[in-house]
A = this chain, B = another copy of it.
């Protein structure tokens, strides 16, 4: 599988001469302590090598397509503390490089090879090589890798399917446990237990388990409040499988039954999601989807009587972004906010809501995206809007001002763009009748 990834990179750099060199990740410590974070490989390195071990390097020769893996030279002390230093044969078998080198052989190899140019991920890594006297380029490689990574291979799609399958089990557990009186962290604990006991090593992001008004904080990670009868509960939690992420959000009634207003607003959010999924496919622009979802939300809220006035005007005046202030979705892969979503020369937009859209491309088969519309009641946005003569006319201030602790909704699925539409990876129930009695 990973030879296919390397081949894609070589093709992306087909006009270049020289070698690609990437240093894999080393363990990270917290501040100035010896607290070591659980090791997670850097995603570009992982993409090219499938090597989850620290302190490796990779060289890909663009001229003769040879693949060199450079293993750290470990001593007996490392074996005592960190354990299981593999023999050369084991590493060859495990990673199948054309040539395995050890770190103390690297510089001599580079001298013999004497590449015209060494392509590096960033200036810091490039410095290590230019200090040895070689010419480097830290401009092309990251873009070339983003170009490769944003179209997933079938093997990558399978990893993403597996990640979603594990997330399904963990999300289901949380929905079944949910009830008033629990602390948010109890649900997080149960979620992680389900996912970790199926092999989850790393959360792809710090999960959000938010009851009540916490559900209207986009990156709420306190997870320390008690769930109240009658409140909303928002879970935004993923898994990682072989490095590939799932990223799924659901919003439930804490007590198992939405009020009428809660249910009506849930359907507004769900309709925006379902419409976006129905429209997504090759050739579709994410910005278009974003604005159409925003229009769905404004239209739905007008129907409920929380907004009033002309829909086109509300779109023009960015009323939608008061309730849906983040992007509709992002690329998904080895990183949760995966690379390639924003092309290099893409003009930034400064429009509320839309400016946070992390995927601004025409969709192509093999891209993997999230779609995650939200409807939130956020005091920090609404209170100033109540006073703003540009916005106030569209708001039912009387009703909205009673909703400052209401919270918010987000519903998020993960999609593979296919030749004729999408494959939805997310099986966690989301129909109103499936989640509310």
Interface residues of A (CB under 8 A from B): 25, 28, 30-40, 42-43, 76, 79-85, 122, 183, 185-186, 188-190, 192-197, 199-201, 204-206, 214, 216-222, 224, 325, 335-337, 378-381, 384
Contact = CB atoms under 8 A, between A and B. Distances in A.
Contact of A381 (B76, B82, B384): B76
B30 A28 contact: yes
A145 to B, nearest CB: 12
Contacts of A35: 204-205, 335-336
Given A43-B33, A197-B189, A206-B38, A378 B79 contact: yes
A17 to B, nearest CB: 26
Contacts of A337: 33-34
Contacts of A336: 35
A86 to B, nearest CB: 12
Contacts of A81: 217-219
Given A35-B335, A80-B217, 7 more contacts: A35-B205, A38-B221, A81-B219, A183-B197, A185-B196, A189-B196, A192-B193
Contacts of A40: 30
A201 B396 CA distance: 40
Q: Taking the full assembly, how many copies of this chain does it contain?
A: 2
Contact of A217 (B25, B82, B381): B82
Contacts of A381: 76, 80
A186 B192 contact: no
Contacts of A34: 335, 337
A39 B219 CA distance: 13
Contact of A192 (B36, B192, B219, B221): B192
Contacts of A80: 217-218, 325, 378, 380-381
Contacts of A79: 378-380
Nearest to A36: B206
A38 B337 CA distance: 17
A195 B186 CA distance: 10
Nearest to A43: B33
13 contacts: A28-B30, A31-B42, A36-B205, A37-B37, A76-B380, A76-B381, A83-B218, A83-B219, A185-B200, A185-B201, A188-B196, A189-B193, A190-B193
B185 A190 contact: no
A217 B83 contact: yes
Contact of A37 (B185, B199, B206, B220): B206
Contacts of A224: 199
A352 to B, nearest CB: 10
Nearest to A188: B196
Contacts of A197: 183, 185-186, 189-190
Contacts of A31: 25, 42-43
A206 B37 CA distance: 7
A219 B197 CA distance: 21
A335 B38 CA distance: 16
Nearest to A142: B32
Nearest to A336: B35
Given A31-B42, A83-B214, A76 B384 contact: yes
5 shortest interchain CB distances as A-B pairs: A83-B217, A193-B193, A189-B196, A79-B380, A189-B197
Contacts of A216: 83
A227 B24 CA distance: 31
Contacts of A378: 79-80
Nearest to A84: B217
A187 to B, nearest CB: 9
Contacts of A190: 193, 197
B82 A219 contact: yes
A15 to B, nearest CB: 25
A204 B189 CA distance: 16
A381 B76 CA distance: 7
Name the residue among A84, A122, A381 with the largest chain B CB count within 10 angstroms: A84
A79 B31 CA distance: 26
Nearest to A193: B193
Contact of A185 (B194, B199, B206, B214): B199
Nearest to A41: B31
